[in-house]
Structures are given as C-alpha cells and as structure tokens.
C-alpha cells in the first residue's frame, strides 16, 4: 500500500514534506528572464528545489492553485513537476482539496490519479459528507493511491465550522476524524496506518496528544510549520513512536534564500539548508 511506502520514507528520511506552492514572485529575477514562458521558469525553479531537498524530504506536496493561477502555462509547469517527481521516485501529494459528490468526484479522481496529473495522494474536503470521499476509494483499494482528508486545519477560521459543538458535546472536527478513521479501516497497511490519512494542523498543539490517541490508525499530513507559526515542538504530539505524520513547509523552504538575503542564483542551496535544518529540528524533538 502507498501508506507503507510513505511510512518507510519517514522512517528513513524524517518528516519533511516540501511544499511546492510556487508563486512567480518567489522566483529569482534571473530565472524569469532566462525563459520565454512562465512554464519553463516555474519548472526549473521546482526542479532545482526538488534536487536540492530530496535527500531530506520524505515527500513533496504540490498545491495546484499556484499553477492554475497562471492558466495553461501554469498547468504545464504543474504537469512537468509531477512527471519529474515520478521520474525521481518521489512520493507526491497533490493538494487539490476537492469536495464534491458522485460523478463529479469520480472525474476528480480520474484527473488526479491517472494521466497527466497523476499523483500518489490527493487532499479532499469531506464537509459535504462521506459520500464525497467514496468515489476515490477504488483507487485506494486497487491502485496504490491514498487520500489526505481535511480534519482540523491550521487557519484561524477553522473555528467557524470545525469547532462547532455537536449535540453530544464533541466538536465537528473530532466527529470528522472518527468517521475518516472508521472509513479507513479497510485500507490499513503493514505499518498499522491507513491510506486514508488526515490533514491536521500543528498550530493547536494543546489538542495534539488527544487527536493522536483517538486517531491512532490515521496518518497525518501536518501543515502550519514555519511561515504559519508552528515549530518542531508543536509537531511532536501529532506523531507516534517517531512516525505517523509528515510535516509540510512551503514558503519557509522556497523562500529561504530571501530570508537569508543570499545570492538568488544559489536559491536552491538555501532551500537545501532549510530542509536539512527542519529535518534535524523535528528529529531532535522526537528523540
């Protein structure tokens, strides 16, 4: 199962998930001038980031909105980035956050688990109900694919809906988490986790221990690190025996060269240093 591959990568390489949320403004000026189109500029940036950080990354998350924003050129960069990641045997999380039902969800599954935009995992939004997830499950069961389902997100607005108290005194996000874990019981790998994972932000560390205990078979995709305020100490409660989750950092790694005020031509080296630093910081807290 795909979750076993991801678990093994974390075991060997740590918890870093490099987020390729690549905005054109992140690119050094020389890279934009070098190419005649946006597609090649973004792809070269991504390729150099991938090459420089893959030693420290267990997986890569590619946020589709950053590519859709640039139309056909952007989607060509998205396609080429996914192709390159596959050629390098990297595990891909396509952050598409789809949340529809029936035939529409079937088409989303086909679009992102096959063909030009094929990835290993995709993110989905369950807030239309569990039937919005069912069309993806054939790929999980039969085609070595996985899902990360939004459970509790890292944004301040999460409290608007996810924290609403239920009639039983629970919270909406807790009920979603329980339903995802129940649904995922049919897709548990040798590692003890399901290929139906959950997106759980690390910016609410006080709840981490409780969530990890309740969702003991759910592998976590953990946003909120770095630019969103989370640190290595915040991540630990969401892990179990040093595994059970990957931690995403996007801007913190992509823009490391700007933070360091380094030579833009060496942007990938600064990203490598940042990914290594993140890997070591989390591993040191886990020990």
CA torsion, ordered 110, 222, 241, 54, to nearest 10 deg: 70
Residue 205 corresponds to which tokens in the numbers above?
Answer: 């560390």
Beta carbons of 7 and 219 less than 8 angstroms apart: yes
80 vs 256: CA distance, rounded Å: 23
Q: What share of the chain in percent tops pLDDT 70? A: 98
Tell me which H or E stretch contains 75: helix 71-87
Res 207: pLDDT = 83
Residue 196 corresponds to which tokens in the numbers above?
Answer: 């139906």
Quote the Cα angle for 253-95-117, to 5°. Answer: 110
Give the distance, in angstroms, between the CA of residue 94 and the centroid of all CA atoms in the same chain.
Answer: 7
Residue 124's nearest CA partner among 92, 98, 93 is: 98
30 vs 62: CA distance, rounded Å: 23
Phi-psi region of 192 (alpha: psi -120 to 50; beta: other; left: phi over 0): left
pLDDT tens digits for range 90-141 = 999 999 999 999 999 999 999 999 999 999 999 999 999 999 999 999 999 9
For the beta carbon of residue 77, count every other beta carbon within 10 angstroms.
27
Tell me which H or E stretch contains 218: strand 218-222
- How large is the C-alpha radius of gyration of the chain? 18
Residues of the chain with pLDDT under 50: none
Q: Which residues contact 6 (CB under 8 A, 6 or more apart)?
A: 58, 59, 91, 120, 121, 146, 219, 246
Residue 200 has, within 13 A of its CA and on its CB side, a CA count of 31
Exactly one of 13, 47, 97, 276 is catalytic; name it: 97
Beta carbons of 126 and 150 less than 8 angstroms apart: yes
217 is catalytic: no
């Amino acid at each position: 199962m795909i979750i076993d591959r991801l678990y093994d990568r974390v075991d060997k390489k740590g918890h870093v998930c490099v987020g390729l949320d690549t905005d054109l403004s992140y690119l050094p000026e020389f890279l934009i001038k070098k190419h005649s189109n946006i597609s090649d500029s973004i792809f070269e940036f991504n390729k150099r980031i991938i090459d420089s950080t893959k030693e420290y990354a267990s997986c890569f998350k590619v946020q589709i909105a950053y590519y859709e924003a640039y139309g056909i050129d952007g989607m060509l960069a998205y396609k080429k980035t996914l192709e390159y990641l596959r050629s390098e045997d990297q595990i891909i999380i396509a952050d598409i956050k789809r949340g529809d039902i029936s035939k529409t969800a079937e088409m989303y599954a086909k679009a992102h688990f096959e063909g030009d935009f094929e990835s290993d995992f995709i993110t989905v939004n369950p807030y239309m109900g569990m039937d919005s997830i069912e069309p993806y499950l054939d790929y999980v069961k039969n085609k070595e694919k996985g899902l990360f389902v939004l459970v509790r997100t890292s944004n301040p607005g999460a409290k608007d809906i996810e924290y609403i108290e239920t009639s039983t005194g629970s919270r909406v996000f807790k009920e979603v988490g329980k339903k995802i874990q129940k649904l995922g019981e049919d897709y548990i790998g040798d590692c003890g986790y399901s290929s139906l994972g959950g997106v759980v932000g690390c910016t609410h560390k006080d709840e981490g221990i409780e969530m990890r205990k309740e969702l003991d078979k759910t592998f976590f995709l953990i946003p909120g690190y770095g630019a969103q305020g989370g640190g290595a100490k915040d991540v630990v409660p969401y892990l179990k025996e040093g595994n059970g989750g990957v931690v995403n950092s996007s801007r913190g790694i992509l823009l490391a060269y700007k933070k360091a005020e380094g030579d833009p031509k060496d942007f990938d080296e600064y990203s490598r240093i940042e990914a290594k630093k993140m890997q070591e910081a989390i591993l040191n807290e886990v020990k």
